[in-house]
Structure 1
Amino acid sequence: MTLARVADDNRSAFGDSSVAGDRAVSIWLWSVAALVIAMVVVGGATRLTESGLSITEWQPLLGAVPPLSHADWIAAFEKYKQIPQYHIMNQDMTLDAFKSIYWWEWSHRFLGRFIGIAFALPLIFFWLTGRLKRGSGAKFLGVLALGGVQGVIGWYMVKSGLVDRVDVSQYRLALHLITAFAILGLLVWLALEEWPDTAHRAAGAVTPTIRRMGVFIVLIVVTQVVLGAFVAGLKAGFIYNTWPTMDGQWIPSDYWTTPAYLTFFESHAASQFNHRMMAYFVVLAVLTELWLVMRSAVDSRIRATAVLLALAVFAQVALGIATLLAHVPLELGVAHQLGGAIVFVLSVVHLHAIRRAAVSA
């Protein structure tokens, strides 16, 4: 008997929410989304503390158990001593210092495992009891599968720093981060879809321009996330710690690399410059959308989400500048990564509010 058949048989007992949605399902999805945001934040801390390479093995099940004895800690430390990061950067590291970076990486991996359980077990319950909206089962399975792929990508990223370099590849870091944001976006969208009143049309109508701008803003926010990943991967936030110019230059003189086609991906100066310019572009796009929304007869949710998105973007820009000027301290760096996740979530929420409204002529 299939899950869909079991769900149909149970709808009479639990109430048919296959059309209207279910608050409990939506709250569960929002909770998992919050865990993903926490995962992004812990991942940022792991990167800033140079902790990501402290665990040199990938054990999806046994890896959930940290070292429990002094001998276990010595064994883990000896494995870390075999990689370039130790020999080049940390030859004077003590066991206590190793434990500090180990716990960051272990917490990051453990949180990933916990998110998988927090998503999979309630999914089975809600599906078997017919609480999911009809036809959404495949979407949930897709998110679950993407979460599994993310675990593989995480190890693929860590593996890049175990042999010939002292840190992870910026390409793999960008892939790992953008996959996390894809999962986050899908969870937020599904949570909004599962809320009971989603089936009702929003009051008023939006212009085609407002709808296109909503999509465009999500796309450029995602682009900014990718650019931020390259800044992080190249540690480009530790240079040009001035604003609004870059050490007195509007365009850094060392922008280009050789060969030129790798500039976008491997130039420290270019990665920071691109991230700055895209931030200004995001501000311009969000303010344009806010102006369009405020002069149109749209639903109050669309207005509210547009205002919140604009406020979040301004706060994120201010936080980014403060982080840069302070030479990327841990607290500000982590807060900036959290701010990026909040801006992304609000852009998705705003787009969803727009999609609920009819399109005016």
Structure 2
Amino acid sequence: MSSVLSKSQFFFMRNVSILDTIRGTSVKNFTLRSGSSTIKSINLQNVNNGLLSRNFFSNSSVSAKRLSLNRLFSNSSMARNVAAPIDLAAQTIKQQRPRTLLNSHKYVGYWLIGTSVLVFGIVVLGGLTRLTESGLSITEWKPVTGAIPPLNHEEWVAEFNKYKESPEFKQLNSHITLEEFQFIFFMEWAHRLWGRAIGFAMLLPATYFAVSRKTSPRVNRRLVILTLLLGLQGAIGWWMVKSGLEQEQLEERRSKPTVSQYRLTTHLGAAFLLYAGMIWTGLEILRENKWIKDPKKSIEIFQKLDNPALGPLRKISIALVGLTFITAMSGGLVAGLDAGLIYNTFPHMGDNIVPSKRELLDDTYARKEDKSDKFWRNMLENPTTVQLNHRILATTTFFAVLATHLYAARIKFLAPKSANRALHTMMGLVTLQVTLGIFTLLYLVPIPLASAHQAGALALFTSSLVFAANLRKPRAAIRILNGGLYTQQVRASKEAGSKILSEVSKLAK
């Protein structure tokens, strides 16, 4: 079968990600013509291992009908039958900007990864703010004017007087001086200022990339969600702080002046989700651009990812992301309840591996007369039970990663090298994280160790995301197989096209 593309010279688009694999195809010749002269002829008769299939575009925009693709795979997990004819009808050529991009510019990926580093930093700084007991030092929420700290002695005295009205000062910190207050104030102020900086680092570039058409509609939707989540995160932060400033809430929780462990964990969880969204989207964009840059290598990777034998490992990778996230959130409950300051031994908790049932399910934590809430309140509010839960989850995470590492070693030739490297990193990080957790407990939660342990949790979560991302099938290829391929009006890149055509020609020989 021959397919002829005419009307003008056609090239591959540099920033359009359409990856596909054709196995056992009946295509014999693929000929490109300009007018009556043949530009390139590629014999595909012997191509059995795969071919990178992409959209072709002229150096002006092309408006075309649907390019119908029926069942491109043979003996594949994604489709079974070999295809029917490929039919392209070019209608008009118009000088205009492209309507839709299928993938985003690589700079968008770099920006998202860079912004995620800022989120990583603010999570660590937030942990230090909590460990130094600085989080309740600023008793007002001023998103705009709060960016400016007190600038003279009178303003510092006024700010200190506001803090003196808080339950924390009256019950715990009535002895501190103005200089000591300035330290805890600057810790909380720096945390809030960093959050504002992330807001600008997110909103301004996102607007620029969207207006300059460097992002696909899919990525635009994600950026909107991430921006909204970032704004919500600021509100969650104040909602958390407020729980430690109102005496009524403290009395209801029967708590000393500290923030609610529920709100603290919500704040931490939102930060993890924001970070995950940035990392995942950034990696996806960079992978798509990498595939376009190196077509031959991308074919090999795509064939590996399409192997049904990778299915179990792919599911395990997603489960590990969830497990590391849940373990980190249980750590948030430990931090909110100061549960790390009890049972500072390992692996025992007191005289036993597990404390007594009476201590784990204490009736005093129930608030209803019928004690129907005893179980879940002990699970989330009893420091002993919360610490035990965190130990169990941390141990489960370690052995889950270890088992995955051993399983992946048996099939390492099936997975991409990038996925194997990510899993090796994850194995090292989970070992380090467990070690940090044990020493943090044994040494009564010193600030350096506790801060490193929190950073280690996010680093481990990062490695799980990278591992899962490197096992994920290409979205663009799935779209082709499920719904067929539509030509897009885009600006062409001669250099990218010539390189890809050259690589495809080599593979065809």
TM-score norm. by structure 1 comes to 0.92
Q: Are the counterparts in 1 of residues 135 and 241 from structure 2 also a CA contact under 8 Å?
A: yes
Which residue does the alignment assign to 1:216? 319
Equivalent-residue separation in structure 2 for 1:207 and 1:31 (angstroms): 30
Cα distance in 2 for residues equivalent to 1:308 and 1:37: 18
1:320 maps to which residue? 437
Deviation readout 1:156-210 (Å, 9 max, x if unpaired): 0000000223100000001000000000000000101111126755452353211
Pick one of 351, 367, 380 that aligns with 1:248. Answer: 351
Question: Do structure 1's residue 238 and structure 2's residue 341 form an aligned pair?
Answer: yes
Query: 5+ residue gaps in structure 2?
Result: 1-60, 62-94, 251-256, 293-297, 367-373, 479-509
SS in 1 for 2:222: helix
CA distance in 2 between counterparts of 1:330 and 1:16 reads: 53
Partners in 2 of 1:273 and 1:129 — Cα distance?
52
Instruction: Point out where structure 1 has 5 or more consecutive residues left out of the alignment.
Output: 1-8
1:279 aligns with 2:370: no
Indicate the residue corresponding to 2:157 in structure 1: 74
Deviates more, 1:193-202 or 1:224-233: 193-202
Distance 1:172 1:117 in 2: 25
> 1:264 maps to what in 2?
379
Q: Who is 2:82 aligned against?
A: none
Match of 2:13 in 1: none
Residue aligned with 1:207, SS: helix
Relative to structure 1, the CA distance from residue 355 to residue 151 in structure 2 (aligned partners, 3 Å threshold; closer, same or farther) is same
Once superposed, what is the RMSD of the aligned Cα atoms? 2.2
The C-alpha deviation readout for 1:191-249, integer Å capped at 9, x for no partner, is 01111126755452353211111111111111101100000000001111111111232
Q: Secondary structure at the match of 1:124?
A: helix
**Amino acid corresponding to residue 392 of structure 2 in structure 1:** M
Q: CA deviation at 1:17?
A: 10
Q: Larger C-alpha radius of gyration, 1 or 2?
A: 2
Aligned CA distance change for structure 1 residues 337 and 17 (closer, same or farther; 3 Å): farther
Aligned to 1:174: 265
Give distance in 1, aligned partners of 2:318 and 2:328. Answer: 16
Q: CA deviation at 1:128?
A: 1.5
- Among 192, 195, 199, the alignment partner of 2:283 is 192
Distance 1:285 1:152, change over 3 A: same
Distance 1:15 1:110, change over 3 A: farther
Contact 2:422 2:463 in 1 (8 A): yes
CA 66–277 in structure 1, closer or farther in 2 if over 3 Å, else same = same
Give % identity.
Answer: 36
CA change 1:286–1:17 in 2 (3 A) is: farther
Task: Give yes or no for the alignment of 1:300 onto 2:403.
Answer: no
The letter for the 2-side match of 1:107 is: A
Say which of 109, 112, 115 aligns to 2:195: 112
Q: Structure 2 vs 1, CA of residues 18 and 293 (structure 1 numbering), >3 Å: closer, same or farther? A: farther
For 1:263 and 1:207, how far apart are their aligned partners in 2?
40
Q: Which amino acid aligns with 2:219?
A: S
Runs of 4+ off more than 6 Å? 12-17
* Contact in 1 for aligned 2:310/2:415 (Cα 8 Å): no
Match of 2:212 in 1: 129
State the SS of the aligned residue for 1:355. Answer: coil
Pairing 1:344–2:461 present: yes
1:15 offset after TM fit, Å? 10
CA deviations 1:44-68 (Å, max 9, x no partner) are 0010111000000001101111111
Match of 1:51 in 2: 134
Q: Which residue of 2 aligns with 1:61?
A: 144
- What letter is aligned with 1:283? F
* Structure with greater proportional strand content: 2
Cα distance 1:88–1:198, how it changes in 2: closer, same or farther (>3 A)?
farther
C-alpha distance in structure 2 between counterparts of 1:132 and 1:140, whole Å: 10
- CA drift of 1:130 comes to 1.5
Select the residue among 267, 274, 280 that pairs with 1:183.
Answer: 274
Contact 1:112 1:151 in 2 (8 A): yes
Please name the residue that 1:32 is paired with: 115
Cα distance in 2 for residues equivalent to 1:192 and 1:16: 25
Contact 1:203–1:298 (CA<8 Å) still a contact in 2?
Answer: no
Deviation at 1:18, TM superposition (A): 3.4
Pairs aligned (count): 349
Alpha-carbon contact 1:203-1:299 (below 8 Å) kept:
no
For 1:255, the aligned partner's letter is L
User: TM-score with structure 2 length normalisation?
Assistant: 0.66
2:175 is paired with a residue of what secondary structure? coil
Q: CA deviation at 1:354?
A: 1.1
> Corresponding residue for 2:450?
333
| Superposition deviation, residue 294 in structure 1 | 1.5
Contact 1:293 1:302 in 2 (8 A): no
CA distance in 1, matches of 2:98, 2:354: 61
From the superposition, tell whether residues 19 and 267 of structure 1 become closer, same or farther in structure 2 (CA, over 3 Å): same
State how far apart, in whole Å, the 2-side matches of 1:14 and 1:31 are. 29
1:163 aligned to 2:254? no
The amino acid of 1:345's aligned partner reads T
Aligned twin of 1:3: none
